[in-house]
Chains A and B, each alone.
Chain A
C-alpha cells in the first residue's frame, strides 16, 4: 500500500491500465471512419491528420505536465493567439523570423511566469488564475491587432509549416522532436520526477528541500513557451495572424490530456497517452470533417468524450 511512497523512482512511472481506454477510442474511431467515409483511409489523409495534430500536440505536451501538478492552464489558446499576432507583427515589420519567434516566446514565457506566480506564490486556484490571464491575453490580442488580421506574412515563414526535409513534412519533424524532448524530460530527468511529486506528494518535496514553488512556476513557463512555438506553426499555417485564431484551443489540449488518461488528481501522467489522446482528437475532427459534420458539432462531441473520460477516471480512482 505504501511501498510506492518509499521508493524514489516509482512515482515517475504511473500505473497504466492493461488496455488503455484511449487506445480503444483511437482504434474504434479509426475503424468507424474508415467504414463510413472512403476518403479516410488514404495515405494522403492519414499524413494530413498527423500534420494537423502537431499544433495541438505542442500544447498538450506541457498541458500534461501542468495537469500532473494538479493544475490547469485555460489561458493557453489565448496566449497562443497573442503570441501569433506578436510574431506576425514583428515578422512583417522586420522581415526577421528569429526576432518574430523571440517575440512569440517572450509573450509565452511572460504569461507562463504570470500564471506560475499566481498559482505557486499567491496560491490562487489554477483554473481561476488562468481564467483571469485568459481574459488578459484575449484583451491584449484585440488591442495589439485592433481587431484586424495581420497579413503579408513572408514566404520563409510559410515554409516552416509547408516545407519538408527528406520527404517528411516539417511539422511532423517538429512534433516528433518535442515529443521526444518531453518524454526524456518527464521520465529521465530529476525535473520529471519532481513534476510527478508536485501533484502526488508536495509535502515530500518540501521535506526533501526542493524549492517547489520555483519548480511549479517553471512548469507553467514551459507551457507558455510551447504556446509560443505553436504560434509559429499556427501563423505559418494560416499565413496570417488573427485575433481569434486559437480561441478555445486549450480545450482540445485539455481534452487530449484527459483522454490520454492523465489524472486531475494525484499526479498520474502519461506522455504516450497524451500523444494518443491528441491523435484521437485529430482523427475525430478529421473523420467528422470528411463526413461534413460542422465544426460546432465536433466541439460538442469532444466535450462529451472528455466528460466520459473523466467519469471513467473517477471510477478507476474509486476502485483503487
Chain B
C-alpha cells in the first residue's frame, strides 16, 4: 500500500517550494545584473573587480545578517550603523592604547553586543516598538560617538590587524572567508536549531509563540544582541580596511543593510526570510552600487537609488502577500 502511495505521489515535474522559487528569482536577477554589467563596462568582469564586489558585499552582509534575525521576529534595528561608529571608535582606542589587536577586536564585539542587548531589553521588557526604540538608540550612540571623538580621527593600526580587512588568503580577500563562515553559521542557526526555529515562530505569530511556551522575551533579546554583535564584527572589518576610525564611519550603512535584507526576500511583518536570501540581497545591492560606480554615476545618487530599492522591495513583498 505504501508502495502504491509513493508511485502516485511521484509526479514527474520538479516541485519547488515558494521560498525556493523566490530565491531562484533573486539569484537570476543577480546573474542578469552581472551579465548586463559585463556587457556595459569592460572593467566589471575582471578578477580585481569581482573580488572587490565580494569584499564590499561582505561588509554589508555582516550587518545585514544580524538584522535578518531581527526582521524575522517582526522587528527592526535602525541603530546598526551608529553601532558600527561607536564600536569602531572604541576598538580603535583600545588598539592604540594597548597595542593589542585581539583586545581591540574583543572590545568592538563586546560594545556591539552590549548595545544590542540594550535594544533587546527596550523592545522585550519595556515594550517600546522596535523601530522607535532603536531610532532613539541611533541618536544616543551618534551623540556619544561624536562627543567621544570630538572630531578627531584615530588611524594607523598594526599590519596584523589590517590584514583582517585588506589581506588576502589564496588570492581571495579575508572578509570573503568571514562572510562565507557567517553565512554557513547563520543558515545552520536559523534553519537547523530550535532557537532559530523559535525566532521564525515569534515573527510568524508572537501570540501563538508565547502560548506555546517559547521564551519570547529571551529570544528577542538574543536576536538584538546578535544584531549588535554583527555590527561589532562589521566595525572591526571596516576599521581594519580603512585603517582609521571616525565618528561617522558607519552612518551611511543602515539603509543599505535594511535594503539588503528586504531585497533578500525577508518580510517586515516577520516570519519570512533567510540568511542566505540576505546574502543574495547584499550581492544584488553591491552589484547595483558597483555598476553605478563603473558607469561613472555620481556617488550622490547612491542614497536615492538605495531608498527607491528599499521601497520597491517592500512593495514586492506586499504584492506577494496579497496574492497568497
Contact = CB atoms under 8 A, between A and B. Distances in A.
Interface of A: 72, 74, 118, 122-125, 127-129, 131-136, 138-140, 142-143, 146-147, 248, 251, 254, 258, 264-265, 294-304, 306-307, 310-311, 314, 318
B303 A136 contact: yes
A310 B130 CA distance: 11
Nearest to B317: A124
B84 to A, nearest CB: 17
B304 A143 contact: yes
Q: Secondary structure at chain B's binding surface: helix, strand, loop or mixed? A: helix
Contacts of B142: 248, 296, 299-300
Interface stretch (B120-128, B170-178, B191-199): B120-128
B301 A264 contact: no
A132 B310 contact: yes
A310 B125 CA distance: 12
Contacts of A146: 300
Interface string B110-144: 00000000000010001111011101111111111
B310 A131 contact: yes
B300 A128 contact: no
Contacts of A142: 300, 303
Return the 7 tightest CB-CB contacts between A and B, nearest first: A135-B307, A139-B304, A300-B143, A296-B146, A303-B140, A142-B300, A299-B143
A124 B311 contact: yes
B283 interface: no
A276 to B, nearest CB: 19
Given A72-B131, A127-B132, 10 more contacts: A133-B307, A139-B300, A248-B139, A294-B146, A300-B144, A300-B147, A301-B143, A307-B122, A310-B133, A314-B128
Most buried by A among B127, B146, B258, B307: B307
A299 B78 CA distance: 16
B320 to A, nearest CB: 12
A132 B311 contact: yes
Contact of B132 (A129, A136, A295, A310): A310
Contacts of B146: 294-296, 299
Contacts of B139: 248, 251, 299-300, 302-303
B305 interface: yes
Contacts of B78: 131
Contacts of B294: none
Given A124-B314, A128-B268, A264-B129, A303 B307 contact: no
Interface in B72-86: 76, 78
B11 interface: no
A136 B304 CA distance: 4
A129 B307 CA distance: 9
Interface string B234-261: 0000000000000000000001001000
B71 to A, nearest CB: 10
Using C-beta atoms within 8 Å of the partner chain, give the interface range for chain B. Answer: 35 or more
A134 B255 CA distance: 10
B93 interface: no
B205 to A, nearest CB: 18
B308 interface: yes
Interface string B134-162: 01111111111111001000000000000
Contact of A307 (B128, B150, B255): B128
Contacts of B48: none
Contacts of B132: 72, 127, 254, 258, 264, 306, 310
30 contacts: A72-B131, A124-B311, A124-B314, A127-B76, A128-B314, A129-B314, A131-B78, A132-B310, A134-B307, A135-B255, A135-B307, A135-B310, A136-B307, A138-B303, A139-B300, A139-B301, A143-B300, A146-B300, A251-B139, A254-B132, A258-B132, A294-B146, A294-B150, A296-B143, A296-B145, A301-B143, A302-B139, A306-B132, A314-B128, A318-B127
A22 to B, nearest CB: 16
A31 B192 CA distance: 58
A143 B298 contact: yes
Contacts of A299: 139-140, 142-143, 146
Most buried by B among A123, A125, A134, A139: A139
Contacts of B258: 128, 131
Interface in B259-277: 262, 268
B304 A314 contact: no
Given A300-B139, A310-B136, A127 B131 contact: yes
A111 B15 CA distance: 44
Contacts of A296: 142-147
Contacts of B150: 294
Given A123-B318, A139-B307, A301-B143, A306 B136 contact: yes
A139 B305 contact: yes
A258 B131 CA distance: 14
B114 to A, nearest CB: 16
B315 A124 contact: yes
Contacts of A135: 255, 303-304, 306-308, 310
Nearest to A251: B139
A310 B123 CA distance: 11
A213 to B, nearest CB: 14
B166 interface: no
A318 B125 CA distance: 12
Contacts of B128: 307, 310-311, 314
Interface in B274-305: 298, 300-305
